[in-house]
Amino acid sequence: MKVINERKVAGNIENDLLSTLIDANDLNGSKASVKFVAESCKTTYFAGHETSSITLKWVLLLLALNPEWQARVRAEITAVCRQHIPDANALRQMKLLTMVIQETMRLYSITPLILRETLQEDIKFGDIWFPGGVELMIPVAALHHDPYIWGPDAGEFNPERFANGASKACKFPYLYMPFGFGPRVCLGLNFAMAELKVILSLMLGKFSFTLSPNYRHSVVYGIVSEPEFGVDLIVRKV
């Protein structure tokens, strides 16, 4: 809030994302609008940094717990990249790594809840009426672990379920929503996937990961789903 107000006092002359948000929302001294800009900035920080870094931790944890998958992914990276930094074409060929990331985001939904607010007028969704201005919570983590949607192995790490893409991975494709779904889907979806694949391919191509006996498993559900005590891994050069 302090940064936003300082920018307004200074005349908002910077050419950056914050200026764009301020201009687009026509603040006019409205506290609600200032709050909206502040929340948008926080969302950008969490969505652009925290989500990718925490997802990376969960991927490495699951690969450490499933060495056969770690070996398969490493073999794919070696074959595709040939000891080079992956380019766009290489990223498209990393099918196994993509499956592992998708399954990780199912088991450890980086956003455990998605919040949506209805418009000011009442709306009807299916057979249900929602009054205007109410906040709805979509329990993403619960949906991603529901055996009715994913089958009896819903609690297990099984990247093979994504072998034919996310749309064929479960009973109702729209219920897989690590990045949200529909017109409000995360704008950074493709960038985040590319970012994760580049980082993981560089790491897995050079190092192997096994679980440390110091690791304590505890998932904390807040704005994001994160490991309460971090992820302790033993790293060896391959």
Residue 54 has what pLDDT? 93
Question: CA 232, CA 221: separation in Å to the nearest integer?
Answer: 19
Note the Cα 109 to chain centre separation in Å.
Answer: 7
Angle at 92 between CA 87 and CA 98, to 5 degrees: 115
Residue 222 has what pLDDT? 83
Q: Provide the pLDDT confidence category of residue 21 given band limits of 50, 70 and 90.
A: confident
Q: Provide the pLDDT confidence category of residue 26 given band limits of 50, 70 and 90.
A: low
Tell which residue, 180, 187, 189, 144, has the closest CA to residue 162: 144
pLDDT in tens, 147-169: 999 999 999 999 999 999 999 99
Mean pLDDT of the chain: 89
pLDDT in tens, 197-230: 999 999 999 999 999 999 999 999 888 899 999 9
Residue 40 has what pLDDT? 80
Amino acid at 181: F
Q: Provide the pLDDT confidence category of residue 14 given band limits of 50, 70 and 90.
A: confident
Residue 155 has what pLDDT? 95
The CB-side HSE value for 94 (13 A sphere, CA atoms) comes to: 31
Query: 75 and 59 in contact (C-beta within 8 Å)?
Result: no
Residue 30 has what pLDDT? 57
Q: Map out the domains of the chain with their CATH numbers.
A: 2-237 (1.10.630.10)
41 labelled binding-site residue: no
Tell which residue, 187, 149, 165, 168, has the closest CA to residue 51: 187
pLDDT in tens, 28-85: 555 557 788 888 877 777 667 788 899 999 999 999 999 999 999 999 999 999 888 8
23 vs 81, which has greater pLDDT?
Answer: 81
Residue 189 pLDDT > 90, yes or no? no
Residue 2 has what pLDDT? 85
Residue 17 pLDDT > 90, yes or no? no
Residue 121 has what pLDDT? 84
**Strand ranges (E), 94-175:** 113-117, 123-125, 128-130, 135-139
- Give percent of the chain above pLDDT 90: 56
Residue 32 has what pLDDT? 57
pLDDT in tens, 83-140: 888 999 999 999 999 999 999 999 999 889 988 888 778 888 889 998 988 888 999 9
Amino acid at 21: L
Residue 47 has what pLDDT? 67
